[in-house]
């Protein structure tokens, strides 16, 4: 993506966010070469903090791509904010409704246009007590199967110090150490051309999440637990919104 092709509101977002991230973080970045400069790509980060979308966006932008995040469609209907999000080429997603199929079509179209789509496969900040990855939702796998676009894993450690979700604590101090690593695309070739059954999508998703877990282990150390599973919800409890 040539930077000169950015629109006014995209440049506005860069001018607003990049200086903040430059001061707030002390960055260790590796693997930018795995985010190819053109062509559709699905980027799948681990999710450990409300701060990590800013960290991911900074990394992807410096790799030469414009990050297109998924956001709840309701946010896009908020006056002014929704208008700016549209102008910044972010993607509204209707979750847990019949409109979800239409959202998938928008994602496919974004990839067909050569976009860099960022999908958090966990759908929300991990609930694992030590912030290890948990089992993912199948949206990224479904999109990869539909488009054949490469799935690039992206792991981060450090955003949880910027904003710790376990304590709802913001740390505004400058130069917080943050490590971000992108890896080669996840090998999903064995499922190419498969029918997107529940079993196929779950196998693909587990492969993606285990890759993220192993990459995260390399940068934070320790012994990772099995992928954390969400507790079953009581019958009749309303399902919370999460990524498809």
Residue-range domain boundaries for the chain: 25-69+97-220
pLDDT reported for residue 244 = 42
> For the segment 147-158, what is each residue's pLDDT rounded down to a tens digit?
999 999 999 999
According to CATH, what is the number of the domain 25-69+97-220?
3.40.1130.10
pLDDT reported for residue 236 = 55
Window from 112-121, 170-179, 223-232 with minimum mean pLDDT: 223-232
Residue 158 — left, alpha, or beta (φ > 0 → left; ψ -120 to 50 → alpha)?
Answer: left
pLDDT reported for residue 52 = 96
* Residue 109 in tokens: 């179209």
Report helix, strand and coil shares of the chain as percent, to nearest 5.
40, 20, 45
pLDDT reported for residue 96 = 62
Alpha-carbon 83 to chain mean position: 22
Return the higher-pLDDT residue of 244 and 63: 63
Separation CA 118–CA 32 (nearest Å):
15
Q: Is the pLDDT of residue 106 over 90?
A: no
Residue 233 — pLDDT band, cuts 50, 70, 90?
A: low
Q: Is the pLDDT of residue 234 over 80?
A: no
H or E element at residue 179: strand 176-182
Arithmetic mean of pLDDT, 85-98: 80
Separation CA 1–CA 145 (nearest Å):
24
Query: CB atoms < 10 A from the CB of 217, how many?
Result: 14
Residue 49 — pLDDT band, cuts 50, 70, 90?
A: very high
pLDDT reported for residue 100 = 63
Percent of the chain at pLDDT above 90? 75
> For the segment 134-149, what is each residue's pLDDT rounded down to a tens digit?
999 999 999 999 999 9
pLDDT reported for residue 68 = 95
pTM of the model: 0.91
Window from 15-29, 96-110, 171-185 with minimum mean pLDDT: 96-110
Q: Is the pLDDT of residue 243 over 50?
A: no
The torsion angles phi and psi of 6, rounded to 5 degrees, stand at: -70, 145
> For the segment 1-17, what is each residue's pLDDT rounded down to a tens digit?
444 578 999 999 999 99
Note whether 200 and 145 are within 8 A (CB).
yes
**How high does pLDDT run on average in the chain?**
90
pLDDT reported for residue 241 = 41
């Amino acid at each position: 993506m040539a930077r000169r092709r950015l629109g006014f509101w995209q440049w506005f977002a860069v001018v607003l966010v990049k200086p903040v991230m430059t001061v707030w973080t002390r960055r260790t970045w590796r693997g930018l070469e795995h985010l190819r400069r053109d062509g559709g790509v699905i980027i799948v980060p681990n999710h450990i903090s409300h701060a990590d979308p800013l960290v991911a966006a900074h990394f992807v932008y410096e790799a030469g791509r414009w990050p297109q995040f998924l956001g709840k469609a309701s946010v896009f209907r908020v006056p002014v904010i929704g208008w700016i999000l549209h102008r910044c080429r972010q993607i509204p997603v209707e979750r847990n409704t019949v409109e979800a199929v239409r959202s998938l079509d928008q994602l496919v179209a974004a990839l067909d246009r050569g976009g860099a789509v960022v999908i958090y496969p966990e759908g929300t900040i991990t609930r694992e007590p030590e912030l290890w990855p948990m089992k993912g939702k199948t949206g990224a796998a479904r999109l990869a199967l539909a488009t054949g676009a490469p799935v690039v894993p992206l792991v981060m450690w450090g955003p949880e110090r910027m904003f710790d979700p376990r304590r709802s604590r913001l740390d505004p101090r400058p130069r917080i150490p943050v490590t971000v690593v992108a890896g080669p695309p996840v090998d999903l070739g064995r499922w190419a051309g498969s029918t997107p059954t529940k079993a196929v999508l779950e196998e693909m998703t587990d492969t993606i999440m285990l890759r993220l877990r192993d990459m995260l282990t390399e940068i934070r150390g320790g012994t990772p637990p099995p992928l954390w599973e969400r507790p079953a919800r009581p019958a009749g409890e309303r399902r919370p919104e999460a990524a498809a």
